[in-house]
Chain A
């Protein structure tokens, strides 16, 4: 007896396989997801085989298992990477991978010691993953699975249908031809990136309430958008949705302070009112109304975590922004508005060898939102002139 299939879910998975990973016949597909995402994982598996996957490898993880480890396990279990798991990650090279988001229990780990949660990262596995990203050997993508817990976080009630509608809107699943809609969208964002690349700004300056930060740019870093390409030439869209143009900044040049404009879901907790202060590129101070310890714990996980790895620009055209929702999910919220990330660089942006200004050895990469109608973003030229890029959420730079 075949299970009754949910047509929308099957279409969503098909779009993710075609546009997201752009899975090629004969590739293996690796899916890593929490158990609550099983319905999406099953649909992705079916879509993967339908697209010609040789083998689909599914690994379910479970936040409750992690919580048990942190509450009751020994110190040695914290951050431990089993050898077989490292072997699985090594085997991903040359293949397609999916990750999923949409936390069914966003506050599950909230009662635990924030420093401990921040330290519990499988660095052995993450190092292998980061190497794959640097080597451009994965066509990878991430997408979200609407569920009751996530819907409750967003709407205050478990209205999964309403969340599905928002997800379908943001991922263009409700368009008559979602694949064509994505091609058009990707072209628009790539045009913005091309203009920024022609301008060759020396720095980006952010000004707004609680914010006055200038971040230097790198000569060897490009602005990118929406689509990456593997070393073997497979184009793929790593995030669905995506609305940003982004680059990797000079990690040695960030001065000032910046205040987040949306809550940050991190390590099972929700950080509110985050304000970070930079000196010589490094985060030297962390304040927050709630959850500052989780951020501090993560910044302490390696010596390069406290430096910037990403700047991303998003305007009011963003479908995510248009929903007016806070999704409490980075995949969505980072596409609502401008953001920056501390930790590992986006090495896809770098031309040539990784220079000293590239923050390429951290195992952390955490985005937090800084944009909104009150944020002014300027490009600073080598001559020191300020050129408006964003005013009141409207893109200013048309050539």
Chain B
């Protein structure tokens, strides 16, 4: 399929299934200048779906770099008031949002002073965005835009056709009717959610080479799939691709050892052979073939960083996993296989957002992959049964 057609199909999916844009809605589109081809297609699709107005905001890492290099220190975390107003309007108007990933120059800021890079974040805007996400005002989705820089990161050469082919496969653009394929896919993940919630799981048990890990869940833990719902009842799919069902586990009931099954990209480093040991929920030991100190450094960020915030199940039908590609983009890589994340979890995966046993408040959330054909996953239920969930990457409950 020609790239232009893939772009149109991806945009159509993002608008109809992802953000689920409603007639008369305001639509916000956020991306980088390198994402223009997909942004334009999303704009067309959104107007075709009846958008009242499509407000596109382009960002540019080179502008950010110049600011970090030279601007006065107090400006680094400043939010221009008009951007804050824009964000508030988007909340009040309950706009649909389409955001794009696919970093064109991942190393662009690497030579700048880390302290200034860390401070260069529009604080008031970030707080407003967090408030809006928590209030579930908006129907939103995150998609990607293949570009030369990202292709170079993934393949070592700017092979755009190859990257588009991989992305198209992951988001089902190769299907005759991608919209219907996604509806089927979302429903299948929802059936898994219903089945997992019905089991009444007390703990998950992962067993494989270098792995014997028990992750305790809370009574309040609820499984989430691809389907999200706004406060007004609009359904949307927040990530395209998505292959996971996930929940927020108990903070203090993870024990044992786990070995990562895929490389982890963190702060510009690739960490291989990560082995993490838990005791009563807390990470007490970190080993790796290389880069263990990067993980240890991150675990020191705050007191909740070394506790789990997410456990996520992905089987061998994952299209991201089937590509065998490391995308160096969380939107893709976290859908490759089963994973856990240390750091803060999601309140939307809890029946009570204030559940005291969950690990929510941390500025860290790092996913790493622990699944694969050699890793078996069982559910231990509260009524004492042991139910196989994954064997040889095959989902064991009825789909």
CB distance from B284 to the nearest CB of A (A): 37
Annotate A60-80 by CB proximity to B: 1 below 8 A, 0 otherwise.
Answer: 101011001101111011001
Cross-interface CB contact of B63 among A1, A45, A80, A87, cutoff 8 Å: A45
Cross-interface CB contact of B67 among A56, A68, A80, cutoff 8 Å: A56
Cross-interface CB contact of B40 among A3, A56, A64, A87, cutoff 8 Å: A64
- Identify the stretch in A46-54, A240-248, A297-305, A380-388 within 8 Å (CB) of chain B at 4 or more residues: A46-54
Given the contacts A72-B44, A87-B81, A87-B82, A45 and B52 also touching, CB distance less than 8 Å: no
Q: Determine whether the beta carbon of A84 is less than 8 Å from that of B86.
A: yes
Q: Does B62 have its Cβ within 8 Å of any Cβ on chain A? A: yes
Residue of B nearest to A37 (CB): B33
When distances are taken between beta carbons in the complex, the residues of chain A under 8 Å from B155 are none
When distances are taken between beta carbons in the complex, the residues of chain B under 8 Å from A83 are 85, 89
Annotate B55-72 by CB proximity to A: 1 below 8 A, 0 otherwise.
Answer: 110101011011101111
Interface size on B, residues (CB 8 A): 40
When distances are taken between beta carbons in the complex, the residues of chain A under 8 Å from B56 are 62, 65
CB distance from B181 to the nearest CB of A (A): 25
Q: Determine whether the beta carbon of A45 is less than 8 Å from that of B43.
A: no
When distances are taken between beta carbons in the complex, the residues of chain A under 8 Å from B86 are 82, 84
In the assembled complex, the Cα of A76 lies from the Cα of B58 at a distance in Å of 23
Residue of A nearest to B51 (CB): A73
Q: Does B54 have its Cβ within 8 Å of any Cβ on chain A? A: yes
Q: Does A88 have its Cβ within 8 Å of any Cβ on chain B? A: yes
Q: Determine whether the beta carbon of B83 is less than 8 Å from that of A68.
A: no
Annotate B220-245 by CB proximity to A: 1 below 8 A, 0 otherwise.
Answer: 00000000000000000000000000
Q: Determine whether the beta carbon of B40 is less than 8 Å from that of A50.
A: no
Per the 8 Å Cβ criterion, residues 13-61 of A in contact with B are: 35, 38, 41-42, 45-46, 49-50, 53-58, 60
When distances are taken between beta carbons in the complex, the residues of chain A under 8 Å from B60 are 38, 41-42, 58, 60
Q: Does B115 have its Cβ within 8 Å of any Cβ on chain A? A: no
When distances are taken between beta carbons in the complex, the residues of chain A under 8 Å from B266 are none
Per the 8 Å Cβ criterion, residues 119-147 of B in contact with A are: none
Per the 8 Å Cβ criterion, residues 40-56 of B in contact with A are: 40, 43-44, 47-48, 50-56
Q: Determine whether the beta carbon of A80 is less than 8 Å from that of B53.
A: yes
Q: Determine whether the beta carbon of B82 is less than 8 Å from that of A88.
A: yes
Q: Determine whether the beta carbon of A60 is less than 8 Å from that of B75.
A: no
- Identify the stretch in B104-112, B196-204, B312-320, B357-365 within 8 Å (CB) of chain A at 4 or more residues: B104-112
In the assembled complex, the Cα of A72 lies from the Cα of B39 at a distance in Å of 15
In the assembled complex, the Cα of A84 lies from the Cα of B86 at a distance in Å of 5
CB distance from B88 to the nearest CB of A (A): 9
CB distance from B116 to the nearest CB of A (A): 13
In the assembled complex, the Cα of A47 lies from the Cα of B44 at a distance in Å of 35
Q: Determine whether the beta carbon of A72 is less than 8 Å from that of B47.
A: yes
In the assembled complex, the Cα of A69 lies from the Cα of B58 at a distance in Å of 17
In the assembled complex, the Cα of A30 lies from the Cα of B114 at a distance in Å of 27
Q: Does A85 have its Cβ within 8 Å of any Cβ on chain B? A: yes
In the assembled complex, the Cα of A87 lies from the Cα of B79 at a distance in Å of 13
Residue of B nearest to A46 (CB): B66
In the assembled complex, the Cα of A76 lies from the Cα of B60 at a distance in Å of 30
Given the contacts A54-B72, A68-B47, A73-B54, A41 and B82 also touching, CB distance less than 8 Å: no
Q: Determine whether the beta carbon of A84 is less than 8 Å from that of B54.
A: no
Residue of A nearest to B112 (CB): A2
When distances are taken between beta carbons in the complex, the residues of chain B under 8 Å from A112 are none
CB distance from A137 to the nearest CB of B (A): 17
In the assembled complex, the Cα of A60 lies from the Cα of B39 at a distance in Å of 13
CB distance from A272 to the nearest CB of B (A): 29
Given the contacts A62-B36, A87-B81, A68 and B44 also touching, CB distance less than 8 Å: yes
Cross-interface CB contact of B108 among A3, A53, A64, A68, cutoff 8 Å: A3
Q: Determine whether the beta carbon of A56 is less than 8 Å from that of B80.
A: no
Q: Does A180 have its Cβ within 8 Å of any Cβ on chain B? A: no
CB distance from A78 to the nearest CB of B (A): 10
Q: Does A195 have its Cβ within 8 Å of any Cβ on chain B? A: no
23 contacts between A and B (CB under 8 A): A1-B105, A1-B111, A38-B60, A38-B62, A41-B63, A45-B62, A45-B66, A45-B67, A46-B66, A58-B63, A60-B60, A62-B56, A69-B54, A72-B47, A72-B48, A73-B51, A77-B54, A83-B85, A84-B85, A84-B86, A87-B85, A88-B80, A88-B82
Residues of B in contact with A (beta carbons under 8 Å apart): 33, 36, 39-40, 43-44, 47-48, 50-56, 58, 60, 62-63, 65-67, 69-72, 75, 78, 80-83, 85-86, 89, 105, 107-108, 110-111
A-B CB proximity, top 7 nearest: A72-B47, A84-B86, A49-B70, A60-B58, A88-B82, A87-B82, A42-B62
